[in-house]
């Protein structure tokens, strides 16, 4: 195996490890929100430093491969995609940390009735499932699975669209829960962005495997 292949394989493994860490961060932030576990939320914030370290290392590794091997064709596409996927994963890690911060800052547990009426938990689960499937698509170079992400993001968009009215109604009827309601709306907004980041990742997987550029082409909107 050529040296560049060894380095690319190592970079791919690092990226997958980062993916798994970010997935774990999202799961823990969700559990902290549901159980109102501030200690678990603090753990998420501490591990956010590991996510940032992963991002920096993967960036450096990609840059070193560019400098030492002048990659072309599929190797070049992989490295370009890896750099962008790396950035998107780091941003999803930031979202998990943001949810954890809300848990720490709020004084009372999120009301179970609001959790149900906003569909935030099903939205959260779908966001995690989408992230898992982008990883599987990347590992297996499965562009059909990557393309499925474009359609599934609409589930997150729908919850996000309905959230403003639902939260507004909650505030009108229960003014004492204003801060918690606003925190929940902010979490919904963050979860919606996971869908956007995942679509970006899906586009990069398709670019890497098929040499097709979907960004700004409208292809992802057409649900190829």
Q: How many CB atoms lie within 10 A of CB 202?
A: 28
Q: What is the pTM of this model?
A: 0.91
pLDDT, tens digit, 9 for 90 and up, residues 194-204: 999 999 999 99
pLDDT, tens digit, 9 for 90 and up, residues 39-73: 999 999 999 999 999 999 999 999 999 999 989 99
Q: How confident is the model at residue 223 (pLDDT cuts 50, 70, 90)?
A: very low
pLDDT, tens digit, 9 for 90 and up, residues 82-140: 999 999 999 999 999 999 999 999 888 887 777 888 889 999 999 999 999 999 999 99
What's the number of CA atoms in the CB half-sphere (13 Å) around residue 96? 36
List own/partner pairs for 174-182 with CB under 8 A and 24 or more apart.
Answer: 177/111, 177/114, 179/106, 179/107, 180/106, 180/108, 180/110, 180/111, 180/114, 181/114
The distance of Cα 189 from the centroid of its chain, to the nearest Å, equals: 13
Decide which of 3.20.20.70, 1.20.58.220, 1.10.20.60, 1.10.8.60 is the CATH code for 3-210.
1.20.58.220
DSSP-derived secondary structure letter, 177: G
pLDDT above 90 (res 18): yes
Element (H, E) at 31: helix 3-35
Using CA atoms, how far residue 178 sits from 32, 40, 109, 169, in Å, is 20, 24, 13, 11
């Amino acid at each position: 195996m050529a040296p560049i292949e060894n380095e690319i394989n190592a970079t791919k493994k690092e990226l997958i490890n980062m993916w798994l860490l970010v997935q774990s961060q999202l799961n823990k932030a969700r559990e902290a929100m549901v159980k109102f576990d501030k200690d678990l939320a603090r753990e998420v914030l501490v591990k956010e430093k590991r996510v940032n370290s992963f991002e920096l290392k993967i960036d450096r590794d990609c840059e070193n491969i560019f400098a030492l091997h002048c990659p072309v064709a599929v190797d070049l596409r992989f490295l370009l995609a890896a750099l962008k996927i790396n950035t998107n994963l780091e941003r999803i890690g930031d979202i998990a940390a943001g949810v954890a911060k809300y848990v720490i800052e709020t004084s009372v547990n999120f009301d179970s009735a609001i959790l149900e009426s906003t569909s935030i938990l099903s939205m959260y689960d779908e966001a995690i499932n989408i992230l898992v499937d982008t990883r599987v698509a990347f590992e297996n170079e499965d562009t059909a699975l990557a393309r499925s992400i474009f359609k599934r993001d609409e589930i997150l968009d729908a919850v996000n669209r309905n959230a403003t009215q639902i939260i507004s109604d909650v505030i009108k009827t229960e003014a004492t829960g204003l801060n918690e309601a606003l925190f929940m709306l902010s979490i919904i907004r963050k979860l919606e962005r996971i869908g956007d980041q995942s679509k970006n990742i899906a586009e990069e997987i398709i670019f890497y495997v098929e040499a097709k550029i979907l960004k700004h082409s409208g292809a992802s909107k057409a649900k190829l």
